[in-house]
């Protein structure tokens, strides 16, 4: 760690300690196991009746759907509706989602739970909800005309079923174009007895792709050419880094509902495939890998020991999926453009920087004779440092211009030693103004 970076973290610790008191806040934000509602209400039950606690999944940039209890039933409210979705600092699209969120908020239940979802259709057209991978009565399957009548705009519909499985599932509209508008979300069923080995962190990523023409905001759901690729509804560098304590075990659940299969690659660590959309896989089937192909309609669950400190990329490895659309920005620039000049490219970058606005652009150096080399430019001029625009506690302490190295379907797992992890967790608890003051002080 550099001296200035060390000071960064020290300052955060001192400031946070002053504001909140160390003992309480240092543990803050760590994924703590939650007892199931059965556990909390267990009263006179014997130990055997009580479900285990589990580590809840965190869906960065999305969040969870809360529930209320009606007797022993977990009741969720879910409304399908149009959503203005900012997928990048300079791109907001007109997607569809649930409860103002695209993808929809994560539903987390536990194996054995009775679940009721009070669903409302606020879309301009009919829809239904399908519970992908769940073994439930056919009347709850959410297929229009086959298992139910389409739910008309303005109508409500109640789904209710018992979840006897464990695993990573998702919910989505059972209409192809609506899926491509963003109508899906996680449905995670935690096991009755926690998985072994237990994970310390559990993160979920939803893979989506969008075709949005320049100067347009509505995704073209019939296109096969996708220019925006997102994790949990945002493109890098807007994706929120996943944090892991050095030495911890990390579970990563990935689901895909688009037109492409995505090979998701993790840097610097090996993982094992511990589950699919069908649930947990037996440990005898686990083997080391660092790229997992997540096919359309699949869920893939991988786990790894966060052994090596650092900011490690997690990204789709399809080259075009590691980019953000430059069409909005560069207009006349195509990869093969022969008359691209450094001055022209820089000009384009500066005009984008002004419109966002972000603080600066950060082109890497090019050779003096670059313009005479066939094929130039490729990645030159494309990288955009916008650290301050996408700043959040989880990005705290990253090297300057880190955001210039991240685009498209990409995020990172930050494997952090105890002190640095705690400093960021503390910062997540700070009021926004205090965090800003400290930044300016630094
Ligand atoms: Cu991909």
| Centroid of ligand 1 to alpha carbon of 16 (angstroms) | 39
Residue labelled with tokens 């890497």? 364
Q: Quick check: 392 and 240 in contact, CB under 8 A? A: yes
- Mean pLDDT value across the chain: 85
Model confidence at 20, pLDDT cuts 50, 70, 90, reads very low
pLDDT classification of 213: cutoffs 50, 70, 90: confident
The answer to whether 239 and 388 are in contact (CB under 8 A) is no
pLDDT reading at 326 higher than 80: no
Q: How far is the CA of 207 from the centre of ligand 1 (A)?
A: 8
Instruction: Compute, in angstroms, the gap from residue 91 CA to the centroid of ligand 1.
Output: 19
The per-residue pLDDT for 43 is 42
Least confident of 122-126, 177-181, 319-323: 319-323
Q: Where are the alpha helices (DSSP H) in 125-205?
A: 176-180
pLDDT in tens, 249-297: 999 999 999 999 999 999 999 999 999 999 999 999 999 999 999 999 9
Average of pLDDT values for 359-383? 75
Q: For residue 166, is pLDDT > 90?
A: yes
Give the whole-angstrom CA distance, residue 262 versus residue 298. 10
Residues 6+ apart with CB under 8 A from 120: 77, 78, 79, 80, 155, 156, 157
pLDDT (0 to 100) of residue 30 = 44
Distance 230 CA to ligand 1 centre (A): 9
Give the pLDDT band (50/70/90) at residue 369.
confident
63 CA distance to ligand 1 middle (Å): 23
DSSP string, 325-394: --HHHHTT--TT-TT--HHHHHHHHHHHHHHTT-S---PPP--TTGGGSTT--SSTTT----TTTT--GG
| 437 vs 274: which has the higher pLDDT | 274
| pLDDT above 80 for 379 | no
CA of 421 to the centre of ligand 1 (A): 30
Distance 423 CA to ligand 1 centre (A): 33
% pLDDT > 90, the chain: 66
Q: Running DSSP on this structure, what letter comes out for residue 175?
A: S
pLDDT in tens, 222-234: 988 899 999 999 9
The rounded Å distance from CA 416 to ligand 1 centre is 27
Query: How far does residue 257's CA lie from ligand 1's centre (Å)?
Result: 11
The pTM (predicted TM-score) of the whole model is 0.85
What residues are neighbours of ligand 1 (ion), with CB under 5 Å?
262, 316, 318, 321
Interval between CA 411 and ligand 1 midpoint (Å): 13
C-alpha of 243 from chain center? 13
CA of 9 from ligand 1 middle (Å) equals 35
Gap between the Cα atoms of 216 and 194, Å rounded: 46
Contact criterion met (CB below 8 Å) for 208 and 255: no
């Amino acid at each position: 760690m550099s001296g200035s970076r060390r000071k960064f973290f020290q300052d955060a610790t001192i400031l946070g300690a002053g504001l909140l008191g160390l003992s309480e806040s240092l543990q803050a934000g760590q994924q703590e196991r939650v007892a199931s509602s059965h556990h909390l209400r267990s009263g006179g039950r014997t130990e055997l009746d009580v479900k285990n606690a589990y580590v809840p999944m965190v869906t960065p940039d999305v969040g969870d759907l809360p529930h209320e209890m009606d007797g022993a039933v977990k009741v969720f409210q879910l409304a399908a509706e149009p959503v203005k979705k900012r997928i990048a600092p300079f791109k907001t699209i007109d997607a569809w989602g649930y409860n103002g969120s695209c993808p929809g908020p994560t539903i987390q239940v536990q194996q054995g739970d009775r679940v009721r979802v009070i669903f409302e259709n606020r879309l301009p057209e009919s829809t239904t909800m399908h519970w992908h991978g769940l073994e439930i009565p056919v009347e709850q399957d959410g297929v229009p005309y086959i298992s139910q009548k389409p739910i008309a705009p303005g109508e409500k519909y109640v789904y209710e079923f018992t979840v006897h499985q464990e695993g990573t599932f998702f919910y989505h509209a059972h209409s192809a174009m609506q899926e491509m508008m963003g109508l899906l979300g996680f449905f995670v069923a935690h096991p009755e007895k926690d998985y072994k080995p237990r994970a310390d962190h559990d993160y979920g990523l939803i893979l989506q792709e969008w075709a949005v023409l320049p100067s347009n905001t509505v995704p073209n759901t019939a296109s096969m050419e996708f220019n925006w690729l997102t994790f949990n509804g945002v493109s890098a560098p807007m994706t929120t880094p996943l944090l892991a304590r050095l030495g911890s075990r990390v579970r990563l659940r990935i689901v895909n509902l688009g037109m492409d299969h995505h090979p998701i690659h993790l840097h610097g660590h090996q993982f094992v495939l511990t589950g699919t959309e069908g649930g947990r896989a037996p440990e005898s089937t686990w083997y080391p890998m660092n790229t997992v192909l997540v096919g359309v309609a699949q869920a893939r669950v991988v786990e790894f020991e966060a052994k090596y400190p650092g900011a490690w990329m997690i990204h789709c490895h399809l080259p075009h999926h590691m980019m953000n659309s430059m069409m909005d920005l560069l207009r006349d620039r195509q990869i093969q453009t022969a008359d691209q000049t450094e001055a022209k490219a820089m000009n384009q970058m500066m005009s984008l920087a002004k419109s966002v606005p972000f603080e600066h652009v950060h082109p890497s150096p090019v050779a003096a004779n670059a313009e005479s080399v066939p094929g130039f430019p490729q990645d030159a001029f494309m990288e955009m440092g916008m650290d301050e625009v996408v700043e959040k506690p989880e990005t705290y302490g990253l090297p300057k211009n880190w955001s210039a190295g991240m685009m498209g379907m990409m995020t990172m797992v930050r494997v952090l030693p105890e002190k640095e992890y705690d400093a960021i967790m503390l910062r997540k608890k700070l009021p926004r103004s205090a965090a800003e003051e400290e930044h300016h002080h630094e």
